[in-house]
A and B are shown apart, each in its own frame.
Chain A
Amino acid sequence: MLKGTNNTFVNHILPWLVPAIFIGIWQVLGQVGFISQNFLPTPLSVVEGAIRLGESGELFDYIFVSTGRALLGFLIGGIIGFVFGLINGTFFIFEKLFDTSIQMIRTIPHLALIPLVIIWYGIGEEAKIFLVALGVAFPIYLNTFHGIKNVDKGLLEMGKVYRLKPFQLFTNIMLPGALPSILVGVRYALGIMWMSLIVAETIGSDSGIGYMATSAREFVQMDIVILSIVLYALLGKLSDFLATLLERRWLQWHPNFFKNKKQSKQKLKGEHRSVGSRN
């Protein structure tokens, strides 16, 4: 009953059914006047607002600026979390030195630093990138650290008997062994990334999607306020989708992602076995 299927309808259409019905009902309720346009504009007027902003080019500037901030913050925070996770997971002495401090800082909600960050950086770029990086670093750190720690000891011993050099041990055993856990951290961090950015942009900014929402609020442009919320949802979904693509590519060996491997191997060999035949 809970098994996977190759049915296109179930795989690709069914997940979108609930959002589609939701939007449909929303449109109807708005159009008949059950929901006031001043309270909540209809989906169509949100789309019109998007087209209006899109024609002037503002919309794409804002999306571009926000995405840039998100990615830069993610890159900085991700690298810091990854490197610390790696060295603390690998070397006991570094774990002793750093882990307690990192765990202490981790318990502070990073958005609580906003007043401090505004005093430091005003509403400049640094403030937003700092908050995103800070929020992203911890989930990546934790998952990298635990991934490395939980690498199969038997495989490491095997590597020792086969006299793999430290670098080979790292690239052939430790990193791939930790990768599933690291990718869980990445997906989680992507959520934190957008959340941190939304808050930072809403509180103080002169560009980006958050700025678009706050300035629309001042002019009571309800459609644009809704549009910015929808944009965040779409960007969040898009980044999660990209992360699952990475998982499928890098974890092909994992039984969870097998279907993919069989397809690619078949293409490689030029065989024409049907994909479903072995499922």
Chain B
Amino acid sequence: MELVCPAGTPASLRAALDAGADVVYVGFRDETNARNFPGLNFSPEELEESLEKAHDMGRQVYVAINTYPQAGNLEPWYRAVDTAARIGVDAVILADIGLLDYAKRQHPELRRHLSVQASASNPEAINFYHSAFDVQRVVLPRVLTVHEIAELIKEIDVETEVFAFGGMCVMAEGRCSLSSYATGKSPNMNGVCSPASHVEYEQRRGKLVSRLGEFTINSFPNEEAAGYPTLCKGRFVGHTGEPSYLFEEPTSLNVMMLLPELIQAGVKALKIEGRQRGKAYVYQVVSGYRKAIDAAMKGEPVPLMDMGNITEGTRSTAGAYEKNWR
């Protein structure tokens, strides 16, 4: 099983390789990827150097070009695909069918993976992407149980990659526009959920208050662990009159204990989320998962490691993988 790890900077990429990543995925420093954060990501020159280092170590680098091109402004996305092909990356991770078509026509030899942003979660959709654009791998949305993944794998002709650790979305991947209502920008179009330019924190009467645009979205008492300032993880006052999490609580995904089942299901690769996180996060999570995968592949018990210090809200969940609410 392949361990696919995030890197927002060349230093994080080195940390991921040192920690045992088989593959590191990165993005260019613009709106063509879903982690378009200030000061983050790779210039073409940095990518070239990093790719050389990874290849020297026998590892691979994928490039995420997984936002949706804007009408009338296709150039940045075409340029990103062309640059990735010229540099010789091992695969590009795409979501938009127009861009998949472009990549297939212009660079047929460039391996194509389907991003989670495409939200392909059934055999018909996945097989269509395979037959139309020769997609070799699909990154599955975080909406399926392990059993459903196993059943799906039997009906498709491409490799599967699933998220194992990191940030959670409200299960509408590639479809979520919540952020754009408050800020005018969304992860799908601009590569940013809750753009930092619209986020504000304030210490007020012993509480940390977070705002997105004009909306107050959370207020954390001093002893409570905080989370990201996203609308889906905001605490709002509903019918009960008490502030509560209406969509999702601040928590991170962690499926370490499900590794044997995912291997059994035939999953090809495990993905760690977090290109926006620091290299300390990357090193800790990748080292932990390296040990866990190696143990699981040998049939040994998975050594469960405490990741509490780096999870959002200092809590984690196996999410939909072990869905027990239906």
Q: Are A and B a genuine interacting pair, yes or no?
A: no
- Residue numbers of A with Cβ under 8 A of B are none
